[in-house]
Amino acid sequence: MIANSVYLASQSPRRGELLSQIGIHYERLSNKVCEKHLPDESPEQLVLRLAVSKAQAGWAHGKRQHFWPVIGSDTIVHIENTVFGKPDNNEEAKAMLRQLSGRSHQVKTAVAVVLGKRLLTKNSDSRVYFHTLSDDDINDYVESGESLDKAGAYGIQGMAGKFVERIEGSYSGIVGLPLDIVSGLVKEVLASSSQ
């Protein structure tokens, strides 16, 4: 049985909603992690480094009051080695969506769980296929304001769901927190800490 309580080192409302969906109580910890893509860093290395940094920053946070696991997670969208982070403005969001239009892209979400000296990590890899988007599709979506705080300039759980032809992989991983992985890692870290 997994823990009923964790710390979530993320301000993402979507990640909180996903934890609540599977009955996990969480408290948020703020974290300040530089999310800059390092030179020669692969998408896999980037997403894992950021998830681990967030979890470790959460564990080091002075406001923790309980011995609960800390979950850090990061999600990126990429095509080959081109990473699409969160757009800085509407024009950047439109440019990203034009590149994603009519083709497939990968969504990687890494999860890191810290409890004491124990650190466990795992990646979720999914593929998303977009329909061809018209200029009106892109403009209307970006004008909604939904694209600015999301990797790849879209949220599959929102209005951009209509852009998706199909997915291969974990829907919750694409949203930002693969629930099967979270459940398994939390269970494992708690079992190892009680031995």
DSSP assignments along 102-118, one per residue? TSEEEEEEEEEEEETTE
Q: What is the mean pLDDT of residues 47-65?
A: 90
Predicted confidence (pLDDT) per residue in 8-26, tens digit = 998 888 999 999 999 999 9
In the annotation, is 140 catalytic?
no
**What are 15's two structure tokens?**
């990640």
Predicted confidence (pLDDT) per residue in 60-117, tens digit = 977 788 899 999 999 999 998 899 988 999 999 999 999 999 999 999 999 999 999 9
Among candidate residues 74, 135, 149, 180, the one labeled active-site is 74
Are residues 85 and 47 in contact, defined by beta-carbon separation less than 8 angstroms?
A: no
Q: How far apart are CA 59 and CA 7, in angstroms?
A: 9
Confidence of residue 129 (pLDDT cuts 50, 70, 90): very high
Predicted confidence (pLDDT) per residue in 165-183, tens digit = 999 999 999 999 999 999 9
Q: Please report the pLDDT score of residue 100 as a whole number.
A: 97
Q: Please give the mean pLDDT across all residues of the chain.
A: 92
Q: Please report the pLDDT score of residue 30 as a whole number.
A: 77
pTM confidence score: 0.90
Q: Please report the pLDDT score of residue 1 as a whole number.
A: 39
